[in-house]
Structure 1
Amino acid sequence: MSRTPEEIRRALWENDEELESRARNARAESLVAEAEETGDAPLLIQALFNLVSAYTFSVERDKAFVPFARLLRMWDERAEDFDAYATHRFHWMFKWVSSGMLDQPHIPLASIEKWQAEMEHRYRLAGYSPRAVRSGEFSIASHLGDLERAVRAHDAWLAADRDDMTDCRACELRQEGAWQVRLGDDAEALRLWRPVLEGVHTCLQQPHGVLAESLLPLVRLGRTDEARRSHLRGYRMARDMESMRHAVAAHIEFCALTGNEARGLELLAEQTRHWEPGGDPDTYLSWTACAAVLLRRLTELGHGDQPVPGPPGREWTARELSAHATAEAHATAGRFDARNGTGAVGDRARERMAREPLLDRLPLGLRVPARGPGAPGAPAAPARTPAPRPGGEDGAAAPRADAPPRELLDEARRLSAHGHPTALAAWARLGEAVERTGARLADDERAELLDHCAMELARTDPAAGAERFTAAAELYAGAGRPGEEAACRARAVLASAFAGRPHAEALEAIEPLCARASALHAEGAASTRHATAVLLTRARIRAGLLAEAATGEEAARTADTLDAELAALVAFAAPDRDVPAVCARIAEATESRGRLAAQRGDGERAVELLTEAAALCHAAGRPWDATGAELALARVLTGTGDPARAAAVLTAALEDPERAPVVAAADQARLHLALADARAAEGRAEDESAALLHAAHWADQAGEGDGIGAFARLRLGGSLLALGRWDEAATVLESVLPDLREGHDESDVVQARSWLGQVYSRLDEHRAAAEQFLEAASTAQEWENQYDHALLAHLAADALKNAGTYEQSRRAYARAEELWRSLGDRHGTLRTLRSRAWLASAEGADTDACVEFMQAALREIEEGLGETGDDPEERTRLLLETGHTHRQIAELALAPTDGPPDEEYDDPEQYALNTGGYARALRHTALAATSYLDCGEPGLHLATADHLRAAALELDLAHHDAARSWLARVRDAYPDGTTDPDGTVAERLKAAADLEQRLAR
């Protein structure tokens, strides 16, 4: 059955709203055929416009010329069939066709120049400014590499007046900035782009394009935070748009040049459709050139044989796809150069493909999950070049791995004596060299090697480490080194405890060793360093016993004993504290006492001890050992209300030049995470976000990306949401969800989905928001406390309403109300009742039906007021709810089909859609104001907002005296001298003055 013209028009409008795709193009083609059958010329014109637009904003741009040629013929034959809107749109599309020709290398240059002249002629006849024509000429000249002509056209373009044919300001600024980048002036480009990046000028294509083009200029200028934000925002905006292939390509290039090759591969896997050349060779050139940069980088990093996602039909390695992308880019550029008679396009492509990395690594706050080589969308992250080993104290370079064993032994001993974090790696290199060369070591040297290798082994296999410690102790004994023997046997006992030996049994085993170490020290056969090593080992075992303590009294006794032993150790070692190794032992014991004080809730004592411990580490010349004490100190300071000092401690630790190269990546992650806590406590949201970003980055470097890193990214997503950076928050939260689902507490998953739902709501992606809220609610419904379930059900209902799925929304609101009532949460119930009123309004119910839900809310409030008794805080909250409810009844009366406006005053004329509701609106506005005033100070500003609303409504009804009366109440509420910390008073008085001016007119 054929559709009516009106049905076809509706279908055309719906197709315009669809995502760019071949499917949309096919529907546009079908609609042209349907429109043609009606014999309605204006309808056919509209359908042809729809088709040209669909083709232009897709990879089938080359097909746009045929329907436009038909429009051109129809215009020339019967211009009267084009109304004012169609006339404007017809001339507007000249620009699309002109630029589209330039992007098609099979169209001769002479034809393009002829079309440009035709456009200029027709614009002149129609009385349009030459600005759009000169812009087109500039595009031609810059494409050809004709600098002199480009400069002339550029100046003429910007000098001409703007009119109805001028590109939107956002697109013009994009083009102006891109030209400045071509000229080498990144700073000027970013100055021009600033209004687009800040949202002052936007359109369907911007800021998507500008965000992509700004990436490398920002990095080159050192503005890496902005570059990161532009990537997180921009890729998400462009990823689903066929016409944004060039922008997606720029994001891949950015990843390749900032050490984010794994992220680049993830984008490549998401966008395999772009390997099809289609009818847009210009953006295909951008795609292949940028892909070539990424794939070349992967090959250079040693991943040339890694499977990667490429054009369908076969499997690809990075090396093979690199060659393919490079060849395609050269071939496409060659077609343009052959058409143009210049080498400009090819030169630009070669320059782009030859670009080298701008940064070793720019943290993005994202993690690409490594699920095996070449897994679609999740390629394994390429390894980075390891940091060099530290040299000797005189600045000489560390020995090579193939150096003679004796040289490696000296280096390992030097690093161990210094307590350097790389010491164990040095002993491992010595072990490899001995095995490789068959070198013979003395018994004491073999003992040292075995001892230090056991330290590394005990981290992953404590039982095997205990055996190796015991073997090393035997060698020490045979070599006549009883102090080292005792310390090594103590380490064997500790390793056995880590391997599962009961701590009580381990403690029994360590006591004789402590007695022997003390005796050896008294005899001069063991140094203080050896004796304190044994005593500290006992403290570590007792700390394990404390963690296992079953009762409060038992735990208290164990804690007392542990503290006493640590204090005794410090006193024992004090005479030799000038010896760096002994000073380090005292520092460790003092740190343990500080942690113990923190566990007992003695924050003041904990701060004192942990501060001392950190200072001792620095005094010992081992700043890296201070990291644990400073981290614990910062956490105590933050918890006891001194986050500024905590932040200072952590910042100093992170910026310590001696420590930074050797602090473990996991410790870096923990320091940044603690710094984020301190910044959050200070209320410094931007700094909190930055700290979380670095915490996630270092966790990835430590291989803890799905643990600490995932937690940091979760918090980062929430921080970005709070900062209003919604596109970034969405990207981060989308990235972290898989890690959270695989190995984290389900509460973290619920939190991520809740935040993601809020972000999607802010981005007007309401269906996606509803999906996240519903998934989260499904998990939370199993929890004992049902508050989160109720809240998520309500949020899901809101999102479903905003998505237009009213029946599902109605069910979700009913479920939320049921949950709030079961919890005894009256305020949640009230919010749900008011939301149900707005849902009814959106569904088209009459005002009375909508208001019935509000009346139910008022009855709930009345019941609550009767139960408040002597609780003034609850009474105030309920009076505020009364005001909110009356205010929303007033809004429903004026705008029954609109959603609730903002709480603050706005021009009431925009809601005056139902003049018959003015009386009801005025009555409930007055009731709202009265309720707010009954609250006292908390309701004052809300009341004056309603006074202004009432004045505006009276003014609309020409009730001037009544309006003046309402305005007088506003002025009376704010006598001279009223404090105004946030500017609300000034805002209210200005609004009153504006209404008084309307009254005067």
Structure 2
Amino acid sequence: MARPKKQFAQLLEEIDRTPWGPQEQALVAEAVTLAQEIGDDRLEYQARMRQTASANMGGVTDVMLNSFAWCLARHDADPARFPLDIGNGGADLMWQFKWMASALRSSPAFSQDQIAAVLDDMEDHYRKAGLGLSGVLTARFEDAWEAGRMEDAERLRVQLEATPRDDYSHCDACSRSQVAGFFVDTDRDDEAIRLVEEMLEGGFSCGEEPEHALSRVLLSYLRAGRHDEAKSAHLRSYRLAKDNADNLAIVANNVVFCAVTGNEARALALVERHLPWLTHDGLNVDAHFAALSAFAFALDRVTEAGHGSTPVRGADATALRGFFGDHDGAWSAAELAAAAWAAAERIGADFDARDGGGAHAQRLEHLRGLAQARYDVPIRSDAFAAPSAAPAPTDPAEWAHRAMSFGQYGAEQETLEALPHALEIDDPARRAQLLSLQIGLLVARGKADEARDLLPERGAELRSAGLDAQADLETRAGLATFGADDAEDVATLDRELATGDALPAWSRGDLALSRAALHLRAQEADAALDLAERAAREFSADGDARMVNTTTLFAVAALLEKDGPDAAAGVVDGLLSQDDVSPGHRARALEVRARIRGGQGDFAAGAADADEACRILADLGATSALAPSHLLAGALWEDAGEADRAVSRYRLAARIVTQDGGDATGVDFRLGRAMLSAGDAAEAAELLSDVLQREEQSDVPAGSRGLTATTLAQALASSGEFGQAVGAYGYAAELYESAEQGADQAVALNEQAKILARFGEEDDAIALLENAAEIVRRHPDAPGAVTSVLHSLGQAYAGRRDDRAFVLFDEVEAVAREHEATWLLADVTDSRARALATLERTDEAVAAALTAADGFAALGDLGSAGGSELLAARVLAGAQRATDAVPVYRSVLEHAAEIPPLRQVAALELGDVLEGLGRTAEAAEARALAEG
């Protein structure tokens, strides 16, 4: 048995270093099975003790109850063989006891007598083990509170508060969260908020904290008028809770918050996302009650907002029928609201019958009482889909217009969807045009046989329209004039072009344009342009403005290929200035010009063009074609520094992609990045966390995931989540290392170190920076990364008065000079000055600081210039050279004329220096500047 026992020991080691979750649960189950196969109940005890904790963290209540009962029976029978604590650093048996009464209370299947018996048994075990009773009082308090025996609960809370804490007391985070929730239920919002803020300020956390505590005081914050804190608490709570199905009650609180703050679309999105969690833990029925009532409340709000007919995705899942009953087709929001209320009422009645009171009925009544509550706390992560700007066509002529417009724009999917309706038109010439469009699309999609089958019908329509010469040409040429490009097709086009003088002008133009397209496909831009010019002359001679414009757009593409955007810009401007340009051509031309303007750095003008293209497409009734157009507009607005506008465009693009069943991960990354730029850091962190999770599930390359993790870290840091930001930067560094992107890895380590240093972890920060410096020196082709890392390490050394700082500053200066990075040169000179100042090398420090100030001033950065001069003035004043400091302070005031905080500090310090020199009147004048 040595080998299985060794395997068992290895399993336990792996379990103890694996985070809670499905992988850890599977390992624990494997350990239990292996211990049973070995036949050693002491080994099984070690495995099951871990299983109880694992099931508690994962919300697998039935497994937790069974595992605990097995362990308790073994311990009671032989405490020596089966000790309370197995020494793995996890919860011991008496701590696990605390979970049992709560688990039984969470399901009406267990009677009040059973719950009381567990509580009594718990107290008996605690007393026999000589333990304090804080844990027992906590469990009794929870039982009374959840059963609605509020007077008993208050008495127990006071008793608990007076009872000395011991090793079996709830942790600081859990105890504050629990009492805060009780205070909310007993109308003591201020006290609840105080407890939660104490938790946050103290940095207390636990398995489901602080997310649970934050969710408990969301409404308290709103009632107190502290809307910003409420929004921040919601975003943090939900982001921390959203990936663990055992957090269903936490999510329920957040859903209610969304519903009462005008974020009905977000509430609906959360409902859809978390409906499957109802099936996660069959014994946690109280969480089902909380979720169902919250979902019902939110869906009522969705209905009131005018979206009651919106289908709720996933609600028709077979696994949910036990909650909502059978239903024909998708559930609408209004229908599901009624079903969810009914399910919550049914569950609540079961609990109240068990508890002999009306606690759950009162909770439903309280929730319904929020029906008139309205708080304006906008969250921009979700919005209802705007209705299509274009009604569906009512006759074949309108469908034909739509199909042709989409074809001229290049929206293949929309064109193919419109063509069957359009081809019902009773007009041979129009039908011939539509069939030409259909054949060309089929060829482009590699469906040559289907395209060839349509040629006879196209020929018949041409002849009916009196276009016999074109019909004869296509009979001879086959698919050559529709984009086919094999050698025979090319030869056919060349032959017909050479012998086509007798053909009508339109047919000659068609041949020229078809051959031009093949030249462009072969990257023969000059030949393509020559034939495009010939085609335009022929179409113009025939009087077909539509085909002239088609040819002009083709020529623009060839010009972009041949001579670049400057050459093409004038042609596009000319096309857009015409009055005879169809909507499809205009939209395509606007997008082309948007890209040209973006390439030329005129981002705002390009974004305006892209927006106008989107408007035209929406008026035409476009669907999938709108997504890339909105994406283009978003990218241009982002480049223009208009992050708010970019957010709205990216959100529309993401919604369209999702509605079409596509993968919106890439768009959502852009959306999250734009949210961060727009100042919505907490919302960005939530979205980027989702994006990273999706990327990991899709095996996106490590380098791309590294970029997402880096952006997530930036969002976390910007929203004050510094601990998680450190972790995200560390993960990004690992991903970049895996992708062999050393420069990016070093930058991620640099950012991680900055946060650690900010919170006093200098040793760890320097260790990270030294590692980053070693990595980045292997990448001289990334000067930005090199200077950033070496500069940071130099500043860290300088903070410790370590002369190695100056060698690093020299390296940074050399790179800055090589790349003419004048601002960086001034910045590293400022850092040198500060390092010299710490070493009391006064003259050198002052000279470096003033040199840095001159560099900043030359670039127009008066704030940084003033900061460097302020350093010089302080060094002089500190060296008892007050007279020399005065003119430097006056220079700071000059540079800080439009920077009030810097001006105030400099004025006050100048006043003190002048006072010390006995120049009282001047001192008063200086201080007056600080007040002005």
- TM category (shorter chain) comes to 0.5 to 0.7
2:513 aligns to what?
Answer: 539
2:192 aligns to what?
Answer: 167
3-state SS of paired residue (2:455): helix
How far the C-alpha of 1:776 sits from its partner, in A, is 1.8
2:631 aligns to what?
Answer: 673
2:292 aligns to what?
Answer: 288
Change (3 A) 1:307 1:508: farther
> Which of 578, 586, 593 is equivalent to 1:633?
593
Answer whether contact 1:717 1:732 (CA < 8 A) is retained: yes
For residues 385 and 874 of structure 1, the distance between their equivalents in structure 2, rounded to whole angstroms, comes to: 47
2:670 aligns to what?
Answer: 715
3-state SS of paired residue (2:618): coil
Does the alignment pair 1:235 with 2:219? no
> Which of 313, 324, 329 is equivalent to 2:344?
329
Change (3 A) 1:831 1:684: closer
Residues 631-684 of structure 1 deviation map (CA, whole Å, 9 limit, x = unaligned):
11122223334333333333334345xx42435334322322222233233322
Answer whether contact 2:483 2:514 (CA < 8 A) is retained: no
How far the C-alpha of 1:858 sits from its partner, in A, is 1.0
2:43 aligns to what?
Answer: none
2:251 aligns to what?
Answer: 248
For residues 342 and 811 of structure 1, the distance between their equivalents in structure 2, rounded to whole angstroms, comes to: 54
Answer whether contact 1:643 1:678 (CA < 8 A) is retained: yes
> Which of 687, 707, 710 is equivalent to 1:732?
687
Change (3 A) 1:830 1:212: same
For residues 437 and 382 of structure 2, the distance between their equivalents in structure 1, rounded to whole angstroms, comes to: 37
How far the C-alpha of 1:626 sits from its partner, in A, is 1.7
For residues 229 and 666 of structure 1, the distance between their equivalents in structure 2, rounded to whole angstroms, comes to: 34
2:460 aligns to what?
Answer: 475
Partner amino acid for 2:504? L
For residues 53 and 613 of structure 1, the distance between their equivalents in structure 2, rounded to whole angstroms, comes to: 78
For residues 117 and 908 of structure 2, the distance between their equivalents in structure 1, rounded to whole angstroms, comes to: 56
How far the C-alpha of 1:540 sits from its partner, in A, is 5.2
1:973 aligns to what?
Answer: 891
2:554 aligns to what?
Answer: 592
Change (3 A) 1:736 1:543: farther
1:520 aligns to what?
Answer: 504
For residues 926 and 274 of structure 1, the distance between their equivalents in structure 2, rounded to whole angstroms, comes to: 70
Answer whether contact 1:504 1:545 (CA < 8 A) is retained: no
For residues 804 and 258 of structure 1, the distance between their equivalents in structure 2, rounded to whole angstroms, comes to: 42
Map 1:894-973 onto structure 2 (within 5 A): 921=838, 923=840, 928-937=845-854, 938=856, 940-947=865-872, 962=880, 968=886, 971-973=889-891
Change (3 A) 1:828 1:294: closer
Change (3 A) 1:391 1:754: closer
Answer whether contact 2:406 2:415 (CA < 8 A) is retained: yes
Answer whether contact 1:851 1:889 (CA < 8 A) is retained: no
How far the C-alpha of 1:454 sits from its partner, in A, is 3.6
For residues 872 and 753 of structure 1, the distance between their equivalents in structure 2, rounded to whole angstroms, comes to: 29
Residues 65-88 of structure 1 deviation map (CA, whole Å, 9 limit, x = unaligned):
999999999xxxxxxxx9xxx9xx
Does the alignment pair 1:568 with 2:541? no
> Which of 568, 572, 575 is equivalent to 1:606?
568
Change (3 A) 1:969 1:547: farther
Answer whether contact 2:252 2:295 (CA < 8 A) is retained: yes
1:175 aligns to what?
Answer: none
> Which of 441, 448, 452 is equivalent to 1:463?
448
How far the C-alpha of 1:800 sits from its partner, in A, is 8.9
Answer whether contact 1:643 1:682 (CA < 8 A) is retained: yes
> Which of 792, 814, 817 is equivalent to 2:774?
817
2:737 aligns to what?
Answer: 777
> Which of 747, 764, 772 is equivalent to 1:791?
747
Change (3 A) 1:329 1:836: same
Partner amino acid for 2:645? D
How far the C-alpha of 1:779 sits from its partner, in A, is 0.7
Partner amino acid for 2:452? E
Calculate the TM-score normalised by the size of structure 1: 0.58
Does the alignment pair 1:428 with 2:416? no
For residues 267 and 460 of structure 1, the distance between their equivalents in structure 2, rounded to whole angstroms, comes to: 39
Identical amino acids, percent of aligned pairs: 17
Answer whether contact 1:770 1:799 (CA < 8 A) is retained: no
For residues 237 and 230 of structure 1, the distance between their equivalents in structure 2, rounded to whole angstroms, comes to: 11
> Which of 710, 714, 718 is equivalent to 1:754?
710
Answer whether contact 1:721 1:759 (CA < 8 A) is retained: yes
Partner amino acid for 2:193? C
Residues 130-152 of structure 1 deviation map (CA, whole Å, 9 limit, x = unaligned):
xxxxxx99999998xxxxxxxxx
Partner amino acid for 2:192? D
Partner amino acid for 1:791? V
Change (3 A) 1:930 1:411: closer
1:380 aligns to what?
Answer: none
Partner amino acid for 2:517? A
Residues 749-777 of structure 1 deviation map (CA, whole Å, 9 limit, x = unaligned):
44324323444556421234312221123
For residues 811 and 141 of structure 1, the distance between their equivalents in structure 2, rounded to whole angstroms, comes to: 44
3-state SS of paired residue (2:723): coil
How far the C-alpha of 1:973 sits from its partner, in A, is 2.5
Partner amino acid for 2:889? R
Partner amino acid for 2:281? W
Query: Can you give the 5+ residue segments of structure 1 that lack an aligned partner in the other structure?
Result: 1-18, 34-46, 74-81, 125-135, 144-152, 173-201, 356-361, 367-382, 399-407, 435-440, 522-530, 577-581, 842-846, 891-920, 955-960
For residues 857 and 138 of structure 1, the distance between their equivalents in structure 2, rounded to whole angstroms, comes to: 50
3-state SS of paired residue (2:625): helix
Partner amino acid for 2:453? R
1:899 aligns to what?
Answer: none
How far the C-alpha of 1:364 sits from its partner, in A, is 4.5
Answer whether contact 1:305 1:319 (CA < 8 A) is retained: yes
Answer whether contact 1:753 1:776 (CA < 8 A) is retained: no
Answer whether contact 1:944 1:970 (CA < 8 A) is retained: yes
Answer whether contact 1:858 1:885 (CA < 8 A) is retained: yes
3-state SS of paired residue (2:777): helix
Does the alignment pair 1:697 with 2:703? no
How far the C-alpha of 1:627 sits from its partner, in A, is 1.2
Does the alignment pair 1:112 with 2:150? yes
Answer whether contact 1:941 1:984 (CA < 8 A) is retained: no
For residues 590 and 346 of structure 1, the distance between their equivalents in structure 2, rounded to whole angstroms, comes to: 68
Change (3 A) 1:735 1:995: farther
Residues 858-915 of structure 1 deviation map (CA, whole Å, 9 limit, x = unaligned):
13445787x799979568745642542563687xxxxxxxxxxxxxxxxxxxxxxxxx
For residues 229 and 473 of structure 2, the distance between their equivalents in structure 1, rounded to whole angstroms, comes to: 53
Partner amino acid for 1:535? G
Partner amino acid for 2:848? S
Answer whether contact 1:20 1:57 (CA < 8 A) is retained: no
The CA RMSD over aligned residues, in Å, is 6.6
Change (3 A) 1:716 1:412: closer
For residues 583 and 444 of structure 1, the distance between their equivalents in structure 2, rounded to whole angstroms, comes to: 16
How far the C-alpha of 1:823 sits from its partner, in A, is 1.8
2:642 aligns to what?
Answer: 684
Residues 363-411 of structure 1 deviation map (CA, whole Å, 9 limit, x = unaligned):
9479xxxxxxxxxxxxxxxx9999798456xxxx45xxxxxxxxx6x77
Answer whether contact 2:477 2:493 (CA < 8 A) is retained: no
Calculate the TM-score normalised by the size of structure 2: 0.61
3-state SS of paired residue (1:674): helix
Residues 342-374 of structure 1 deviation map (CA, whole Å, 9 limit, x = unaligned):
99548659969999xxxxxx99479xxxxxxxx
> Which of 803, 812, 834 is equivalent to 1:887?
834
Partner amino acid for 2:455? T
3-state SS of paired residue (1:637): helix
